[in-house]
Chains A and B, each alone.
Chain A
Amino acid sequence: MTTTTVDCLGLSCPIPVVRLAKAVAAIEVGGVVELLADDPGARVDIPVWCRLKDQELLAQHDRPGGGWVFRVRRAR
């Protein structure tokens, strides 16, 4: 399965959510998008987007350099 990385460091919401939505729509079901973001809104909005859109948030952890890494699997 594919893993696509989307770097949204330095970009504010809604851009990380927009880019995640596009990346998830572009991969096959089961594929994974790894999103890097440091906007404080992303920490709230990425997990909520996954829930709203029935996509699977596999992991969310702090980045050493600041911000977070979100791993989202396309579930549908």
Chain B
Amino acid sequence: MLTSGGTEAANLAVTGVARAAGHRRHVVVAAVEHNAVLAPARALAASGFEVTEVGVDHTGRVDPAELAAVVRDDTLLVCLQHANHEVGTVQPVREAASAAHDHGALLFVDACQTVGRLPVDTTELGADLLAASGHKCYGPPGTGFLVASGQARLRPVLLGDERERRRRAGMENLPGVAAMAAAVAARVAEAPAEHHRLARLGERLRAGLAAIPDVIVHGHPSERLPQLVAFSVLYVEGEALLLLLDAEGIAVHSGSSCTADSQEPSHVLAAMGAITHGSVRVSFLRDATDAEVDRLLEVLPAAVAELREMADLDSQAMERAYRERR
């Protein structure tokens, strides 16, 4: 089904499956899902479904055994992202599929972060439904799709005609779809080579960050997206750090780009038990270079020191004081 993006695809998966549900009234979601999954799941909870949220460890990864333990015979749908949008941790999707299918439930995989970056094969993943977004593959914004297997019965969210076999009404954005298809094909073709190059850049950045005092690098050490490095800088406001880096010509994200205006801390970092303030997310573009990583590592320590100085706080001196008094 062609949609207006990953958000609509995820909404259609969660809400559409629920609308076609019979006696199954239980839905399982990971606590670190994107809000495009969590929000419709919570709407289901308000309309009589039971929704179970499964937590994650400090790397942001769901424990497959913990997930399997909450799936029941009346579970309709299990939602597990392929990789997390804020910290890049890759989830145990294959194991989640087994857990869901053992009880006759469907698995929905939000693959917005992985299509065009990691190998994505719905059969291999065991996904009954899978959502992706065009713009994440450098396609046009406002394009996306939902793949549904023959097992996945769903009713439309958008009503009005019989398009997409009565599952999604409305004229498709055909120029956008053509551009998305070209972008996805190009990304899939270049992904294997890009993966190694970006993973190496990511390794270098992570190692460099570890040398800055009180910087906490997030995510799983090995099971993660190659192009994303997320970290929190203790005692510093993320937005302020962004402005200093921006003045140096470096564009990074603070926290979750979609919820930057909200005063609520990131639900992903909170679920991980990680520091939520001072959070920065570096996403490498396809043409990212070693020189860009060098530049960030050159500029960042001074920017962090400047902001801590403004707060009249010397974190290294405090750390020394703790050690001496121990």
Q: What is A's interface to B at a CB cutoff of 8 Å?
A: 12-15, 17-18, 21-22, 25, 28-29, 39-41, 43-45, 47-49, 51-54, 76
In the complex, A53→B234 CA distance in Å?
11
Please, which residues of chain B bring their CB within 8 A of the CB of A48? Answer: 273-276
In the complex, A60→B26 CA distance in Å?
33
Chain A residue with Cβ nearest B264: A40
Please determine whether B234 and A44 come into contact, CB atoms closer than 8 angstroms: no
| Stretch in B30-38, B133-141, B317-325 with 4+ CB within 8 Å of A | B317-325
The smallest C-beta distance from A66 to any residue of chain B, in angstroms, reads 14
Q: What is B's interface to A at a CB cutoff of 8 Å?
A: 216, 234-237, 263-265, 269-270, 273-278, 311, 313, 315, 318, 321-323, 325-326
Please determine whether A21 and B318 come into contact, CB atoms closer than 8 angstroms: yes
Q: Taking A44-B269, A45-B277 as contacts, is the C-beta distance between A12 and B263 under 8 angstroms?
A: yes
Please determine whether B326 and A76 come into contact, CB atoms closer than 8 angstroms: yes
Chain B residue with Cβ nearest A21: B318
Q: Taking A12-B263, A18-B313 as contacts, is the C-beta distance between A25 and B318 under 8 angstroms?
A: yes
List the 10 closest A-B pairs by CB distance, nearest first. A13-B277, A14-B277, A41-B265, A25-B318, A44-B270, A76-B326, A18-B235, A18-B311, A44-B265, A44-B276
The smallest C-beta distance from A40 to any residue of chain B, in angstroms, reads 5
**Most interface-central of A39, A48, A54 (chain B CB within 10 A):** A48
What are 27 sample pairs from A and B whose C-beta atoms fall under 8 A apart?
Answer: A12-B263, A13-B276, A13-B277, A15-B311, A18-B235, A18-B313, A21-B235, A21-B313, A21-B315, A21-B318, A22-B318, A25-B321, A29-B325, A29-B326, A39-B263, A40-B265, A41-B263, A43-B265, A44-B270, A44-B275, A45-B277, A49-B234, A49-B275, A51-B273, A52-B275, A53-B322, A76-B325
Of B276, B311, B318, B326, which one neighbours A45 at CB under 8 angstroms? B276
In the complex, A12→B240 CA distance in Å?
13
Please determine whether A40 and B278 come into contact, CB atoms closer than 8 angstroms: no
Please determine whether A45 and B275 come into contact, CB atoms closer than 8 angstroms: yes
Please determine whether A17 and B235 come into contact, CB atoms closer than 8 angstroms: yes
Please, which residues of chain B bring their CB within 8 A of the CB of A29? Answer: 325-326
Known pairs A29-B325, A49-B275 / 6 extra A-B pairs, C-beta < 8 Å: A12-B263, A14-B234, A21-B315, A41-B263, A44-B275, A48-B273
Please determine whether B277 and A17 come into contact, CB atoms closer than 8 angstroms: yes
The smallest C-beta distance from B218 to any residue of chain A, in angstroms, reads 12
The smallest C-beta distance from B217 to any residue of chain A, in angstroms, reads 13
In the complex, A53→B315 CA distance in Å?
11
Chain B residue with Cβ nearest A54: B322
**Most interface-central of B237, B265, B326 (chain A CB within 10 A):** B265
In the complex, A55→B170 CA distance in Å?
57
In the complex, A47→B265 CA distance in Å?
14
Please, which residues of chain B bring their CB within 8 A of the CB of A41? Answer: 263, 265, 276-277
Of B235, B265, B270, B322, which one neighbours A76 at CB under 8 angstroms? B322
Please determine whether A52 and B216 come into contact, CB atoms closer than 8 angstroms: yes
Please determine whether B263 and A40 come into contact, CB atoms closer than 8 angstroms: yes
Chain A residue with Cβ nearest B233: A14
Please, which residues of chain A bring their CB within 8 A of the CB of B311? Answer: 14-15, 18
In the complex, A13→B240 CA distance in Å?
12
Please, which residues of chain A bring their CB within 8 A of the CB of B216? Answer: 52
In the complex, A21→B311 CA distance in Å?
12
Please, which residues of chain A bring their CB within 8 A of the CB of B276? Answer: 13, 41, 44-45, 48
In the complex, A48→B270 CA distance in Å?
9
The smallest C-beta distance from B260 to any residue of chain A, in angstroms, reads 13
Chain B residue with Cβ nearest A14: B277
The smallest C-beta distance from A52 to any residue of chain B, in angstroms, reads 7
In the complex, A51→B270 CA distance in Å?
14
